[in-house]
């Protein structure tokens, strides 16, 4: 197994690509991406795989249409991949890559673990399974602001049907579960001193044991997919330690759908490459905002900085 040594010092130009996940989708998410024949080809392939008019939805779809898991995930995967490819094309080479939830699948493609086409097939399969399971097992998610992971875990420890789903930052933790379980958690977290509880606009109880059926079926597809050793170290959600080992990557990907997204731990792993800059390589600036909560991890959003300026800043 190949791990990056902790505390490794790299040059001033070192960067980590971080790919956003579901929740960052919006109409127009493809507008700012540099023109690419490959992206157009892949959009055609994604439409064939999903049966949705993804290109039209990306440019004209309503918020509700784009938030459909079966639409959001393929579009985000392709947007993330396109931005990562554009950065590589202009000479920005990362020391590591990571992705938040769905973004991890784009990170693995950019790292060479599988082709972009193979990743697209996995994403389309993943999105269908998650949507089906969420319809059969309804649930929701909520973000707790102002408490750390330990405090949130303690507050909901005696509750059933609700779990910690995302360690997004030292002060933002997401819980996931049944509607009743999350409602009970909201009360307990408020009583425990949470500054604010924000209901998330999601279609199901993601990153919780309630996704077990989807995870089992996705694992069958994953086992049929060849994974290569990574060309770039990958920091994964369920095992936030940089690795290039394909067996380790496969194991962590198997666990991802039902395990918490350890994003705080992932960002701290990125920061250990110090000095380093996180480049949010996809729509929006959610990950840039979360990085502000971690010491020694400056961040840039590709959508907020043109590529020429970005290259001048990091190289």
Catalytically active residues are 101, 207
Look at the block and give the residue holding tokens 């992705």: 99
Gap between the Cα atoms of 180 and 11, Å rounded: 50
For the chain, the farthest-separated pair of C-alpha atoms sits apart, in whole angstroms, at: 53
CA pseudo-torsion sign 226, 232, 238, 239: positive
CA pseudo-torsion sign 303, 305, 309, 314: negative
HSE-CB of 30 using CA atoms within 13 angstroms: 24
Please tell me whether residue 50 adopts helix, strand or coil conformation.
helix
Gap between the Cα atoms of 97 and 108, Å rounded: 8
Task: Mark out the alpha helices in the chain (DSSP H runs).
Answer: 37-50, 54-60, 63-67, 69-89, 103-110, 116-136, 149-156, 179-191, 212-223, 246-256, 263-271, 286-291, 307-314
HSE-CB of 172 using CA atoms within 13 angstroms: 19
C-alpha dist (Å) from residue 211 to 30, 68, 127, 137, 184 = 29, 17, 12, 8, 20
Backbone angles phi, psi at 23, to 5 degrees: 115, -25
Q: Is the peptide bond before 275 cis (omega within 30 degrees of 0)?
A: yes
**Tokens at 37, concatenated:** 């024949």
């Amino acid at each position: 197994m190949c791990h990056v040594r902790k505390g490794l010092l790299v040059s001033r130009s070192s960067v980590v690509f971080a790919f956003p996940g579901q929740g960052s989708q919006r109409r127009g998410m493809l507008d700012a991406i540099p023109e690419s024949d490959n992206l157009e080809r892949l959009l055609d392939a994604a439409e064939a795989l999903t049966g949705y008019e993804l290109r039209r939805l990306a440019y004209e779809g309503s918020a509700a249409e784009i938030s459909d898991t079966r639409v959001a995930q393929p579009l985000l995967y392709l947007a993330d991949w396109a931005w990562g490819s554009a950065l590589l094309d202009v000479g920005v080479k990362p020391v590591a890559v990571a992705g938040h939830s769905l973004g991890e699948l784009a990170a693995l493609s950019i790292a060479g673990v599988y082709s972009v086409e193979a990743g697209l097939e996995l994403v389309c399969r993943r999105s269908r399974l998650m949507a089906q399971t969420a319809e059969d097992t309804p649930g929701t998610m909520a973000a707790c602001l102002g408490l750390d992971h330990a405090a949130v875990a303690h507050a909901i420890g005696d509750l059933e049907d609700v779990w910690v789903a995302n360690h997004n930052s030292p002060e933002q933790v997401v819980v996931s579960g049944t509607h009743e379980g999350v409602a009970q958690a909201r009360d307990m977290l408020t009583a425990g001193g949470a500054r604010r509880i924000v209901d998330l606009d999601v279609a199901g109880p993601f990153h919780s044991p309630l996704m077990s059926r989807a995870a089992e079926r996705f694992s069958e597809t994953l086992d049929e997919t060849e994974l290569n050793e990574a060309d770039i170290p990958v920091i994964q959600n369920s095992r936030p330690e940089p690795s290039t080992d394909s067996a380790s990557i496969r194991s962590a990907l198997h666990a991802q759908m039902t395990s918490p997204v350890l994003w705080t731990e992932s960002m701290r792993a990125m920061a250990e490459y110090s000095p380093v800059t996180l480049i949010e390589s996809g729509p929006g600036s959610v990950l840039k905002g979360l990085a502000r909560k971690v010491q020694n991890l400056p961040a840039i959003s590709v959508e907020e900085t043109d590529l020429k300026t970005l290259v001048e800043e990091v190289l």
